[in-house]
């Protein structure tokens, strides 16, 4: 092997490692919804294996049909699938000066503020659209279906997620 070829090998290895380092850094994402779940399969009907909250940093391990397989933050046991719409590459910071923003705001307020919504914006929208009735939306927001209730409903209806079992 001549000298030029021997010099190219370390260069190629170095470039590959640099590219891998860049792609690993890019694989970190933030949860951009109030709260979310990681599922056993890439489906909204998949069994819930872990929970994440707004601002959590997760490591992307793979992607399939609009879903990302992620490793959750420390303290959360199981890796799982989460829909891409729940993630952003932006790093979400929840600190303001010396204190944690989460201490002064609810999770819902933080998630909405992260997307540009707050009580003032809602009041202005309602003032500009007095003909709209938000009572039904307010009632719907109060409905909470537990993971167990959802799984029982799916089993009773023999609903199977497309692309994978519930597991």
Confidence of residue 57 (pLDDT cuts 50, 70, 90): very high
pLDDT recorded at residue 24: 47
- Fold of the CATH domain 27-92+132-156: SH3 type barrels. (2.30.30)
Taking the domains of the chain in order of start, what are their residue ranges? Answer: 27-92+132-156
Cβ–Cβ < 8 Å for 37, 48: yes
pLDDT recorded at residue 125: 82
N-term to C-term CA, the chain: 54
Confidence of residue 160 (pLDDT cuts 50, 70, 90): confident
Q: Which of 53-57, 67-71, 162-166 has the lowest mean pLDDT?
A: 162-166
Q: Give the model confidence (pLDDT) of 78-113 as tens digits.
A: 899 999 999 988 888 766 554 544 445 566 666 666
Token reading at 32 = 């951009």
Which one is predicted more confidently, 96 or 156? Answer: 156
Helix (H, G, I), strand (E, B) or coil at 115: coil
79 φ/ψ sector (left φ>0, alpha ψ -120 to 50, else beta): beta
HSE-CB for 24 with a 13 A CA cutoff: 6
């Amino acid at each position: 092997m001549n000298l030029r070829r021997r010099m190219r090998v370390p260069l190629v290895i170095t470039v590959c490692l640099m590219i891998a380092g860049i792609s690993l850094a890019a694989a970190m994402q933030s949860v951009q919804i109030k709260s979310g779940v990681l599922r056993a399969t890439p489906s909204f009907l998949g069994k819930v294996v872990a929970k994440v909250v707004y601002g959590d940093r997760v490591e992307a391990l793979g992607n399939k049909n609009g879903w990302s397989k992620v490793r959750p933050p420390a303290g959360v046991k199981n890796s799982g699938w989460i829909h891409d719409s729940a993630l952003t590459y932006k790093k979400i910071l929840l600190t303001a000066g010396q204190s944690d923003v989460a201490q002064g705001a609810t999770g819902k307020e933080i998630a909405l503020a992260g997307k540009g919504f707050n009580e003032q914006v809602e009041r202005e929208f309602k003032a500009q659209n007095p003909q709209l009735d938000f009572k039904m939306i307010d009632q719907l927001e109060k409905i909470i279906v537990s993971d167990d209730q959802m799984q029982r409903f799916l089993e009773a209806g023999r609903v199977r997620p497309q692309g994978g079992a519930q597991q």
